């Protein structure tokens, strides 16, 4: 691909055809490395700093090389951006006749069967008028839409509960037995993906399919020459989710709801079925009520101390067994009842396996507790071997790229975690002039992060900085509790009247829009704003991070992995915990400088950066900003900003 140099040059076709294109040597080098990887069907792990232009760096060689390409992204938002904007722009510039398709998980597409069921449901599971209004809008949209993608219907909020009634899941999809199979939106999306040259998916979809043969990708992969993972730093977490097994109370409640609806429509005369469903539904809710905490993770050892949980789980297993036996006798009466029978058997097997006394040496069993639900999980201690098998199964190019994959340009942690022993690695620094554009400030006088009043000290140190920056800040916290405390303290701070926005007051996109539109605003947020958020210009001139984002040591999966590494005679802190923290911190820090003209201060309120031996390794992994511990330098930095 010798013409890459001319394509990425000052007078090349990208410069002429793509608005805002800038020549960056790092981008050309990355494109050449990716072209080489595709041609040789190798594996490349590539870190490209903010502003490198990695999207163009992988799209140009991928589209020019030919063959089938799967591009997997971290979010559906990025997926839509690639499909609707980036790929069409590059295709037009290069004048290559490639076809593209967008493939999402089936929960994103209206299901004709469940829409019809909902319209016929006289017992409305969604009593309120708003839901009924939404249902009518969805019905109209399903008649006129070619894709049936719910993102195309803006009038119905994405989180409206009605969507659960009119979309299918892996559990309740009837597949080829469905009476609406021939007009199924999911099947149509898969057909388009089968014939397209470039297919855009997301990580959840990719791994759900690879492990569960669930979303139509299993047919795509054999024909595929190249797989590109953008935002590849998210893969270890996503892969762990799908390489294990889980069952949630929500899935069980969905089964109960679907069985009730199917029984009304296909087995009205069989009164035992709805009675048993009611009993099962009660045991599901009782199980959740045995745990008083919310938004927490508990290990199997911790939950074994809870006798009421064990008893409730026994009752649920017994009730689900009874329901399965009844469905065995009634399943032939409809496709829907047959599906409920299969789901009951599968869910029962998962519950029994999770509850069994036998040891699971290579998996960790744990529970995630939400506000109204809980999920039982069995997660592999290591995903490396499982993923390595997928990669070595056939010859194709695999490209992993993100702005945050290494620790001081060392990829050992990431490659080991993902099983990429034979991967080539490459690293390109950001083209931005961080020494001039940014200042890293670590305040003095803060206690250790485990101090009881730590967050109060952080806010006290942050107040003068927020005044100097005149708001225009992200205040990123490592826990929801700290986030709430920061918000309360800033609300009541003396002579402090900047607009405060708190994560959770609206959707993420709504909160970002409010932040951009509100002069001098301060957005206080937790994990969901650490990455994938792009605010350019003066609106964001300060990013405050309350402390180094080490994962909580009592997290059951983390604790089990630490124990395994240490038992093998290795150092889990240096090999596993520290690299994960560095990658996470780099994501948060990456919110600050988003283009060549941005200026700003990154304030990290954690003395461990300077007092611990590992602190140097952390700040050396951040972009090369000027560093200070003096507030007067922060003031000078912002005064220069205003004087301009």
User: Does pLDDT of 218 surpass 80?
Assistant: no
Q: Could you tell me which residue, 344 or 124, shows the higher pLDDT?
A: 344
Burial of 307 (0-12, 13-18, 19+ CB in 10 A): exposed
User: What's the rounded mean pLDDT across residues 491-509?
Assistant: 90
DSSP string, 564-603: HHHHTTS-HIIIIIHHHHHHHHHHHHTTS--STT--EEEE
DSSP string, 248-286: EHHHHHHHHHHHHHHHHHH-TT-THHHHHHHHHHHHHHH
Q: How confident is the model at residue 157 (pLDDT cuts 50, 70, 90)?
A: confident
The per-residue pLDDT for 614 is 94
First to last CA, the chain: 45
Cβ–Cβ < 8 Å for 321, 348: yes
435-489 pLDDT, tens digit each: 999 999 999 999 999 999 999 999 999 999 999 999 999 999 999 999 999 999 9
- Range from 231-235, 331-335, 369-373, 385-389 carrying the lowest mean pLDDT: 331-335
The per-residue pLDDT for 462 is 97
586-633 pLDDT, tens digit each: 999 999 999 999 999 999 999 999 999 999 999 999 999 999 999 999
CATH class of the domain at 4-98+197-230+382-428: alpha beta
Cβ–Cβ < 8 Å for 118, 217: no
- Among positive and negative, which fits the CA dihedral 621, 627, 630, 632? negative
Q: How confident is the model at residue 264 (pLDDT cuts 50, 70, 90)?
A: confident
Q: How confident is the model at residue 376 (pLDDT cuts 50, 70, 90)?
A: very high
Look up the pTM and report it: 0.91
80-127 pLDDT, tens digit each: 899 999 999 999 999 999 999 999 988 899 999 999 988 887 555 555
User: What's the rounded mean pLDDT across residues 556-574?
Assistant: 93
- Among positive and negative, which fits the CA dihedral 175, 178, 181, 185? negative
User: According to CATH, what is the number of the domain 434-643?
Assistant: 3.40.50.300
Give the dihedral of Cα atoms 624, 613, 236, 251; nearest 10 deg: -120
Strands of the sheet containing 626-628, edge to edge, are: 500-502, 522-525, 473-476, 542-545, 600-604, 438-441, 626-628
Beta bridge partners of 400: 45, 229
% the chain with pLDDT above 70 = 96
Distance CA 572, CA 576 (A): 5
Q: Could you tell me which residue, 122 or 323, shows the higher pLDDT?
A: 323
User: Does pLDDT of 546 surpass 90?
Assistant: yes
Q: Could you tell me which residue, 396 or 77, shows the higher pLDDT?
A: 396
Domain ranges of the chain: 4-98+197-230+382-428, 106-186, 253-374, 434-643
- Looking up tokens 């990887």, which residue turns up? 37
The per-residue pLDDT for 641 is 54
User: Does pLDDT of 75 surpass 60?
Assistant: yes
Highest mean pLDDT among 100-109, 309-318, 351-360: 309-318
Pair type for strands 245-248 and 374-380: antiparallel
Own/partner pairs, 568-574, CB within 8 angstroms, 24+ separation: 574/614
CA distance readout (Å), 238 to 73, 131, 205: 12, 32, 10
User: What's the rounded mean pLDDT across residues 421-435?
Assistant: 95
User: Does pLDDT of 334 surpass 80?
Assistant: yes
Instruction: Collapse the DSSP code of 171 into the 3-class scheme (helix H, G, I; strand E, B; otherwise coil) and give the result.
Output: coil
Burial of 154 (0-12, 13-18, 19+ CB in 10 A): exposed
Q: How confident is the model at residue 217 (pLDDT cuts 50, 70, 90)?
A: low
The per-residue pLDDT for 120 is 82
Burial of 527 (0-12, 13-18, 19+ CB in 10 A): middle
Burial of 569 (0-12, 13-18, 19+ CB in 10 A): exposed
User: What's the rounded mean pLDDT across residues 278-291?
Assistant: 95
Distance CA 162, CA 350 (A): 28
Q: Could you tell me which residue, 633 or 263, shows the higher pLDDT?
A: 633
User: What's the rounded mean pLDDT across residues 344-371?
Assistant: 92
Q: How confident is the model at residue 216 (pLDDT cuts 50, 70, 90)?
A: low
Distance CA 105, CA 393 (A): 24
User: What's the rounded mean pLDDT across residues 10-30?
Assistant: 93
Q: Compute the mean pLDDT over every residue in the chain, rounded to the nearest whole number.
A: 91
The per-residue pLDDT for 291 is 95
Identify the CA nearest to 438 among candidates 599, 591, 636.
Answer: 599
CA distance readout (Å), 267 to 168, 262, 274, 341: 22, 7, 10, 14
Q: How confident is the model at residue 366 (pLDDT cuts 50, 70, 90)?
A: very high
CA atoms in the 13 A half-sphere facing the CB of 547? 22
The per-residue pLDDT for 533 is 86
Show the tokens assigned to 153.
């219907």
Q: What's the CA angle centered on 235, arms 91 and 434, to 5 degrees?
A: 75
User: Does pLDDT of 420 surpass 80?
Assistant: yes
The per-residue pLDDT for 268 is 78
Give the dihedral of Cα atoms 388, 82, 409, 31; nearest 10 deg: 90
The per-residue pLDDT for 215 is 54
The per-residue pLDDT for 273 is 86
59-71 pLDDT, tens digit each: 999 999 878 999 9
- Range from 305-319, 353-367, 444-458 carrying the lowest mean pLDDT: 353-367
User: Does pLDDT of 284 surpass 80?
Assistant: yes
The per-residue pLDDT for 145 is 93
Based on its alpha-carbon atoms, the radius of gyration of the chain, rounded to whole angstroms, reads 26
Q: How confident is the model at residue 361 (pLDDT cuts 50, 70, 90)?
A: confident
Distance CA 314, CA 374 (A): 16
Identify the CA nearest to 494 among candidates 461, 463, 458.
Answer: 463
The per-residue pLDDT for 122 is 53
Show the tokens assigned to 458.
């952080």
4-98+197-230+382-428 against 253-374: fold identical:
no
User: Does pLDDT of 1 surpass 70?
Assistant: no
- Range from 134-148, 188-202, 243-257, 323-337 carrying the lowest mean pLDDT: 323-337
Q: How confident is the model at residue 2 (pLDDT cuts 50, 70, 90)?
A: low
Cβ–Cβ < 8 Å for 396, 227: yes
Helices (H), 356-446: 384-392, 412-418, 434-437
User: What's the rounded mean pLDDT across residues 279-301?
Assistant: 93
CA atoms in the 13 A half-sphere facing the CB of 489? 19
- In CATH terms, 253-374 corresponds, of 1.20.1440, 1.20.1740, 1.10.3470, 1.10.260, to 1.20.1440
- Looking up tokens 């709504």, which residue turns up? 510
- Residues with Cβ within 8 Å of residue 605, at least 6 apart in sequence: 442, 443, 446, 458, 461, 462, 544, 545, 546, 547
User: What's the rounded mean pLDDT across residues 393-411?
Assistant: 93
What is the DSSP secondary structure assignment for residue 116, as one 8-state letter? H
The per-residue pLDDT for 405 is 96
The per-residue pLDDT for 212 is 60
The per-residue pLDDT for 128 is 74
Q: How confident is the model at residue 175 (pLDDT cuts 50, 70, 90)?
A: confident
The per-residue pLDDT for 211 is 66
Cβ–Cβ < 8 Å for 214, 107: no
The full 3-state SS of 282-328, as one line of letters, equals HHHHHHHHCCCCCCEEEEHHHHHCCHHHHHHHHHHHHHHHHHHHHHH
């Amino acid at each position: 691909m010798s013409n890459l140099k001319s394509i990425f040059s000052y007078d090349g076709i990208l410069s002429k055809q793509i608005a805002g294109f800038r020549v960056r040597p790092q981008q050309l080098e990355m494109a050449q490395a990716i072209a080489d990887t595709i041609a040789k069907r190798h594996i490349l792990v590539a870190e490209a700093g903010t502003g490198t232009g990695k999207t163009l760096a992988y799209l140009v060689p991928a589209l020019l090389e030919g063959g089938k390409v799967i591009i997997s992204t971290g979010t559906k938002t990025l997926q839509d951006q690639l499909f609707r904007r980036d790929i069409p722009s590059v295709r037009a510039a290069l004048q290559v006749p490639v076809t593209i398709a967008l493939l999402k998980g089936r929960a994103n597409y209206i299901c004709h069967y469940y829409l019809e069921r909902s319209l016929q449901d006289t017992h409305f599971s969604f009593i309120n008028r708003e839901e009924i209004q939404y249902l009518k809008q969805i019905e109209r949209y399903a008649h006129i839409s070619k894709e049936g993608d719910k993102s195309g219907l803006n009038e119905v909020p994405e989180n409206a509960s009605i969507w659960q009634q009119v979309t299918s899941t892996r559990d309740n999809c009837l597949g080829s037995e469905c009476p609406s199979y021939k007009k199924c939106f999911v099947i149509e999306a898969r057909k388009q993906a089968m014939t397209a040259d470039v297919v855009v998916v997301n990580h959840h979809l990719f791994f759900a399919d690879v492990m569960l043969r669930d979303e139509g990708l299993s047919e795509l992969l054999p024909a595929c020459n190249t797989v590109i993972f953008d935002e590849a730093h998210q893969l270890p977490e996503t892969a762990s989710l799908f390489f294990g097994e889980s069952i949630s109370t929500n899935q069980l409640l969905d089964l109960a709801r679907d069985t009730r609806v199917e029984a009304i429509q296909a087995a009205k005369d069989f009164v035992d079925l709805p009675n048993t469903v009611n009993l099962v539904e009660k045991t599901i809710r009782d199980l959740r009520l045995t745990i008083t905490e919310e938004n927490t993770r508990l290990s199997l050892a911790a939950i074994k101390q809870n006798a009421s949980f064990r008893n409730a789980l026994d009752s649920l297993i017994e009730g689900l067994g009874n329901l399965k036996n009844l469905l065995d006798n009634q399943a032939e009466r409809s496709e829907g009842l047959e599906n409920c029978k299969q789901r009951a058997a599968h869910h029962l097997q998962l519950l029994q396996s999770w509850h069994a006394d036998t040891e699971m040496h290579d998996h960790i069993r744990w529970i995630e507790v939400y506000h109204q639900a809980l999920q039982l999980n069995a997660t592999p201690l290591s995903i490396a071997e499982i993923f390595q098998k997928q990669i070595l199964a056939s010859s194709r190019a695999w490209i992993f790229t993100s702005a945050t994959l290494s620790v001081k340009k060392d990829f050992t942690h990431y490659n080991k975690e993902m099983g990429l022993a034979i991967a080539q690695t490459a690293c390109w620094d950001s083209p931005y002039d961080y020494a001039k554009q940014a200042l890293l400030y670590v305040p003095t006088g803060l206690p250790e992060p485990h101090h009881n009043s730590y967050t109060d000290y952080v806010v006290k140190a942050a107040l003068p900085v927020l005044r100097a920056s005149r708001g225009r800040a992200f205040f990123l916290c490592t826990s929801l509790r700290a986030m709430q405390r920061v918000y309360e303290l800033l609300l009541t701070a003396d002579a402090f009247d900047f607009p405060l926005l708190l994560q959770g007051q609206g959707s993420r996109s709504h909160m970002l829009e409010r932040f951009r539109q509100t002069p001098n605003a301060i957005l206080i947020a937790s994990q969901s704003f650490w990455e994938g958020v792009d605010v350019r210009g003066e609106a964001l001139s300060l990013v405050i991070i309350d402390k180094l984002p080490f994962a909580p040591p009592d997290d059951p999966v983390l604790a089990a992995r630490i124990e395994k590494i240490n038992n093998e005679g290795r150092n889990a802190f240096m090999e596993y915990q520290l690299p994960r923290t560095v990658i996470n911190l780099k994501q948060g820090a990456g919110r600050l400088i988003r283009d060549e003209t941005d200026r700003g201060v990154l304030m990290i309120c954690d003395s461990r950066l300077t007092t611990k031996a590992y602190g140097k390794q952390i700040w050396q992994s951040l972009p090369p900003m000027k560093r200070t511990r003096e507030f007067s330098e922060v003031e000078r930095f912002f005064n220069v900003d205003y004087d301009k």
